[in-house]
Chains A and B, each alone.
Chain A
Amino acid sequence: MTSNAAVPFWRAAGMTYITYSNICANLVRNCLKEPYKTEALSREKVHFSISKWTDGKPEKPTIRSDSPEE
């Protein structure tokens, strides 16, 4: 019989460890002094394009451009 005891708080809150860790990192990033803050925030921006594949063919790609706040 498996028990559900001792679930970590972040999982109990409906997150994965990566989500929790990224939130923590963002909080720290936003508390840095300049110029480190702008450096870190610009470093963590992501920009990529995603396309789903159906029947062996890619569909139209979507561009995703996130800054760390999101």
Chain B
Amino acid sequence: MKGSGPPVATVLVASTVALTSSSSAEVQHVSFSTTSSNQVDMVIVPATTGQMGVLPGHVATIAEFKPGVLSVHEGSETTKYFVSSGFVFIHANSFADIITVKAVPLDRINANLVQKRLVDFTLKLS
């Protein structure tokens, strides 16, 4: 793990991408949030095949996400985000790129809204 063997995984999260254009200028904002030290112990990603744990030394992989929870483990701390969709590209040198349109810290989600919309959409389906 940390301190021995290959470097620990680096996580790069591209959160929302917004393109706005006014008459005079085109402004493109891409906001990145990286973990505090860029080096973490483990990331658990919501792949379409299930929750996938990514540790240093993971084999190079590309995985598509289903909407779900991404958790970043660093020492004894875990930070969780909800990702809307996206991909993870794991490179052979223990770098992992997490690409998603939206990665939201869990505490920013309104559970009541989620429940309500789930009910609405389930009704629409039936």
Chain A residues packing against B (C-beta within 8 Å) = 8, 20-22, 24-25, 27-33, 36-37, 40, 43-48
Q: How far is the CB of B103 from chain A (nearest CB, A)?
A: 9
* B-side contacts of A28, CB under 8 Å: 67, 82, 84, 102, 104, 109
Which of B2-10, B14-22, B90-98 lies at the binding interface?
B14-22
Chain B residues packing against A (C-beta within 8 Å) = 16, 18-22, 29, 64, 67, 82, 84-86, 101-102, 104, 108-110, 113-114, 117
Nearest CB in chain A to that of B118: its residue: A31
Nearest CB in chain A to that of B31: its residue: A43
Let me know if B108 and A43 touch, CB within 8 A.
no
Complex alpha-carbon distance, A20 and B113, angstroms: 21
Let me know if A22 and B101 touch, CB within 8 A.
yes
4 tightest Cβ-Cβ pairs between the two chains A and B: A25-B101, A24-B84, A24-B85, A43-B18
Let me know if B86 and A47 touch, CB within 8 A.
no
Let me know if A45 and B108 touch, CB within 8 A.
no
Let me know if B21 and A33 touch, CB within 8 A.
no
Complex alpha-carbon distance, A15 and B19, angstroms: 22
Let me know if B108 and A24 touch, CB within 8 A.
no
Q: How far is the CB of A35 from chain B (nearest CB, A)?
A: 10
